[in-house]
Structure 1
Amino acid sequence: MSAPRWADLIDEEEKVSPLSVNSKLADSLIQSYETKVVGGTIAARLLIFVPERCSKEDFGGKGDGKTSNTEAFRKAIDELSKFATDGGAQLIVPPGKWLTGPFNLTSKFTLYIHQDAVILVSQDEAEWDLIPPLPSYGIGRDNPGPRFISFIFGTNLTDVVITGGNGTIDGQGQLWWTKFRQGQMKNTRPYLIEIMFSDHIQISNLTLINSPSWNVHPVYSSFVVIKGLTILAPVDSPNTDGIDPDSCSNTRIEDCFIVSGDDCIAVKSGWDEYGIAFGKPTKHLIIRNLTCISPDSAVIALGSEMSGGIQDVRAENIAAISSESGLRIKTAIGRGAYVKDVFVRGMTLQTMKYTFWITGDYGSHPDDHYDPKALPVIQGINVKDVVAKNVTIAGKLAGIDGDTFNGICISNVAIELSEQAKQLEWNCSNIKGVSSQVSPQPCALLPDKNIYCPFPTDTLPVDKIQFQTCAAATTMH
């Protein structure tokens, strides 16, 4: 069995592997898997020849759903980190229920969760370190001060894969949600997966359920591919965003199914004066083949924390049912920065409150030190080819007095209103744009100009990254 290339970054002139295999070992890439079997189960597997073999069981792991495996995970990853200079290593979580506290990843590393494996997230706060707030947020998102480290965490990494045969990570979030609702949380709840200041990251083919808060949070990173995730949380669970690309460049999200208590995709880039000072935008973002259910939130939200800027977002083939809004832009006085060059095509929506919802009055400031003169620029929002049924309000588009949201283009959109539809089908103020072939007819601020809204035809660098699927056997043949 030949070893797969996990990713190939294809340039016009050359083809290189972002795994960045050390050149001195280029001739020793494995032609077959090197494995160690413990009780008939492959516990760890290396991608290239290395002097030692490591397995999950070597570090005392026990998949009975009761025994804590926190030290086993941490020791295993620490040991496998020694192979980063030799091309990297892979840790397989075998079948079983693996209870563990949070752990940090290492560079040139693959975490593979077997299809019959469930990782159970510890509810013991004593196992969770506190880390500083994100610099672009200034404070913790739930509460001021430190925040709990994310369950799977990494910073300053390169060439990391978190994948599986649709294996499961269960955040066991109910305890966290209850404490949050009752005001018992002194620090911001942990996210399920957070990767910071990193590049060439793949998160794929997993089921994530019941996260304490946000599920997947790449932040200050580049060349991130998120593919084939199933993300599930009760629709009344607080802040269980699906995927939050945050101050990232060249990110691709595709083939995901999300049921959430908050936005399915929330695009962010920092909060008020902290995001403005940090100044790192989210740009070159692809979202495609997304299915969303979120009765109280958006299918795709831009903001509200967007103070580093958001630019060049391309979303297509989006489906949603029983969700609050299809495309949502949330901003406010004090946010500053911009949301511009947003392109959406091919949305199929069923049972929505809003098809489109853009507002400049979203409050929620980190503190009282934001600049009231920092007005956001909302410009170049292009949406076309939308079918929406059983909708209460076709669109609410409201800019800010003295800060008109410009360049809004909506074309080829058919909206069927529900029996409970509002008498005012479109509610518009402080916006400027055009429409074409939109039913019901938009407000006067979006006059019909008989045009077809644009969608980019160029290829972003992140779309040239091609990942192959990995399969893990459970026995030696």
Structure 2
Amino acid sequence: MYKKLIGLTAFVLIIKVAQAQFTQLPVIPATVYNVNDYGAVADNKTVNTRAIQKALDAAKATGGTVLIPAGDYLCGPLNLYSKTNLQIAKGATLRLRNDMDGFPAANGRYLNFINVAKATDIKISGGGTIDGQGEVWWKATEAKSLTLRRPQMLYMEGAQRVEISGVTFLNPPNTHISLKNALDVYIHDIVIQAPTTSHNTDGINISAKNCTIEHCTINTGDDNIAINFGNKEQAENDPEVKNIVVKDCAFGYGHGLSIGSFTSGHLNNLLVSNCTFDGTTSAIRIKTARGRGGVLSNVTYEGITIKNSRYPIFISEYYPHEPKTPQEDVATAIGDHNPVYKNISLKNITVTNSQEALIIWGIPESPVQHIRLENVKISAKNGAQIYNVTNAEFINSSIEAASGEKLRVYRAGVTGLN
């Protein structure tokens, strides 16, 4: 075993994470299109796909608000266009039909419930509910009877100026909210909920530039939030994901706030602040692997409380599995898509009643670079593991382990922790 603790007096970690957020909110014309005027019936029996799509098509020409008034509306896949606000009023529920026979499909998957493609000025708002009625899809997944991919609840690709607010999202067949290659996104004051046993029901799956997510409550069967950036053609100086803020959110069960596992598009500037994690399998989670990695830099977590988590802080360049011991893996030639993690800051973080204190595990040829932990207090069953890390600096921090070694180190420079 190669083990060393080196002084880092010359190492000063400076992370400049902008208080980045959307630069412009969507602009929606004042016209209102009430779906009832287009024949929608709120009885949870009538399939209203055609009527609601007529309202959306009418709004396509001029823009405006498509109103789902109070009531229970059963519906199939919909297309949403630029300059449109889909408003789910308080007391309204928009439900995805839960019969798979004849469910529309294309390109190897069932169509998403609400689909947005290359649109600008998009809003999903109101105090109502969108229910994916996903149980039938989860059971079919368990039975391995599906031949196509399940629909996502809300899918946007190439959208610009997006706001999602006020709505409760429930039980999707697949991901609740997915935004790919988005620009200027504001998600706030929403609730996302699916059973812990539901399959692949990520809360928010996102790649974006200029995004704020705040005041959200997320409990789900997979990642609470997943930040993915897998465009292998993206240049490092033009990262696929940059300027993201996640703040004042409450995460319950789920797999935590994850970065990866696809990171080849590069990420720069992420701030996660004033969030709570209670019962998440993991909380702060960064994951990727050789062949799907990219540069991840300037990432800050601050003011975080983590309770009852198995892996509260999990940073790994192996996915889905680490070797049994760090000695088992040896450096390989640095490939085009090896992961690079650098300039990561964790500040004012409290971890209690967790199984693993801390895991930071780089690959030998591309160790984790420059990670700073300040005022981090961890209480867990097992101690910390820090493997293949160039500079790990602890300041006013502590790790309490109920059993075994408090700290295991391999090919890592660690200071400030006894």
The reply to whether TM is greater than 0.5 is yes
Q: Tell me, yes or no, if structure 1 residue 376 matches structure 2 residue 332.
A: no
Closer, same or farther in 2 for the Cα pair 1:10/1:264, shift >3 Å?
closer
Match of 2:104 in 1: 128
Unaligned runs of 5+ in 2: 1-20, 322-333, 400-405
Q: Spell out the pairing of 1:265-284 with structure 2 (5 A cutoff).
A: 265-270=225-230, 275-277=231-233, 281-284=240-243
Q: Aligned partners of 1:437, 1:443: CA distance in 2, in Å?
A: 19
- For 1:337 and 1:349, locate their aligned partners in 2 and report how far apart those are by CA, in whole Å: 28
Greater mean deviation of Cα atoms: 307-316 or 436-445 = 436-445
Instruction: Look up the equivalent residue of 1:130 and give its one-letter code.
Output: A
Is residue 119 from structure 1 mapped to residue 94 from structure 2 by the alignment?
Answer: yes
Equivalent residue for 1:89? 64
Out of 98, 105, 110, which is 2:80 matched to?
105
Contact kept, 8 Å, 1:335 with 1:374, in 2: the verdict is yes
Among candidates 220, 244, 252, match of residue 285 of structure 1: 244
In structure 2, the CA distance between the partners of 1:173 and 1:18, relative to structure 1 (3 Å rule), is closer
1:131-172 C-alpha deviation (Å, 9 max, x unpaired): 4xxxxxxxxxxxxxx33332111111111110002x001100
Change (3 A) 1:277 1:159: same
* Contact 2:25–2:121 (Cα < 8 Å) also in 1: no
Query: How far off its partner does 1:336 sit?
Result: 3.0
Provide the residue aligned with 2:3 in structure 1.
Answer: none
CA distance in 2, matches of 1:319, 1:363: 25
Q: Structure 2 CA distance, aligned partners of 1:252 and 1:61? A: 34
Distance 2:245 2:74 in 1: 34
**One-letter identity of the residue aligned with 2:111:** I
Equivalent position of 1:156 in the other structure: 118
Question: Counterparts in 2 of 1:31-430, with a 5 A limit?
Answer: 47-48=30-31, 54-83=33-62, 88-125=63-100, 126-131=102-107, 146-165=108-127, 167-246=128-207, 248-270=208-230, 275-277=231-233, 281-294=240-253, 297=255, 299-363=256-320, 374-417=337-380, 421-422=381-382, 425-430=383-388
Q: Structure 1, residues 273-314: CA drift from partner, whole Å, max 9, x if none?
A: xx313666111111001111125x2x2110001121122111
Q: Indicate conservation of the 8 Å contact 2:25/2:186, yes or no.
A: no
Give the Cα separation in 2 of the matches to 1:251 and 1:17: 11
Q: Distance in 1 between matches of 2:251 and 2:293?
A: 29
| Partner Cα separation in structure 2 for residue 228 and residue 446 of structure 1 | 41
Aligned residues: CA RMSD? 2.2
Moved more, 152-161 or 182-191: 182-191
* Alignment partners' CA distance in 1, 2:386 and 2:319: 16
5+ residue gaps, structure 1: 1-8, 22-45, 132-145, 365-370, 451-477
Q: CA deviation at 1:253?
A: 0.5
What's 1:141 paired with? none
Query: Tell me, what secondary structure is at the counterpart of 1:429?
Result: strand
Distance 2:302 2:33 in 1: 47
For residues 238 and 293 of structure 1, what CA distance do their matches in structure 2 show?
Answer: 16
For 1:188 and 1:216, locate their aligned partners in 2 and report how far apart those are by CA, in whole Å.
Answer: 16
Q: Is the 8 A contact 1:18 1:200 kept in 2?
A: yes
| Structure 1 CA distance for aligned equivalents of residues 371 and 134 of structure 2 | 39
The one-letter code sitting in structure 1 at the alignment partner of 2:263 is: M
1:438-476 C-alpha deviation (Å, 9 max, x unpaired): 2117555363359xxxxxxxxxxxxxxxxxxxxxxxxxx
Q: Which amino acid aligns with 1:315?
A: V
- The alignment's TM-score, normalised by the length of structure 2, stands at 0.84
User: Amino acid of the residue matched to residue 162 of structure 1?
Assistant: I
- Look up the match of 1:134: none
Which amino acid is the alignment partner of residue 289 of structure 1? D
CA–CA separation in structure 1 for the residues paired with 2:416 and 2:283: 23
> Percent identity, aligned pairs only?
29
- Provide the residue aligned with 1:6 in structure 2: none
Shift of 1:191: 1.2
Deviation (angstroms), 1:17 = 7.1
CA contact (8 A) 2:234 2:240 kept: no
Please state how far the C-alpha of 1:349 moved relative to its aligned partner.
1.1
Are the aligned partners of 1:435 and 1:446 in contact in 2 as well (CA < 8 Å)? Answer: no
Query: 1:140 — aligned with what?
Result: none
- Measured in 2, the distance between the counterparts of 1:374 and 1:91 equals 44
Aligned-partner residue type, residue 105 of structure 2: D
Aligned length: 372
CA distance in 2, matches of 1:413, 1:329: 18
Quote the offset at 1:216 in angstroms.
0.8
8 A Cα contact 2:376 2:396, kept in partner? yes
Cα distance between partner residues in 2 of 1:259 and 1:173: 15
The DSSP-based 3-state class of the residue aligned with 1:435 is strand
Q: Secondary structure at the match of 1:213?
A: coil
The alpha-carbon distance between structure 1 residues 10 and 436, as it changes in their structure 2 partners (threshold 3 A), is closer
| Larger RCO, structures 1/2 (Cα 8 Å, 6+ apart) | 2
Letter of the 1:428 partner, please give it.
Answer: I
Which amino acid is 2:220 matched to? S
C-alpha distance after superposition, 1:343-371 (max 9, x if no partner): 1101111111122111122049xxxxxx9
What amino acid is aligned across from residue 83 of structure 2 in structure 1?
K
TM norm structure 1: 0.74
Asked if the contact 1:345/1:386 (under 8 Å) is kept, the reply is yes
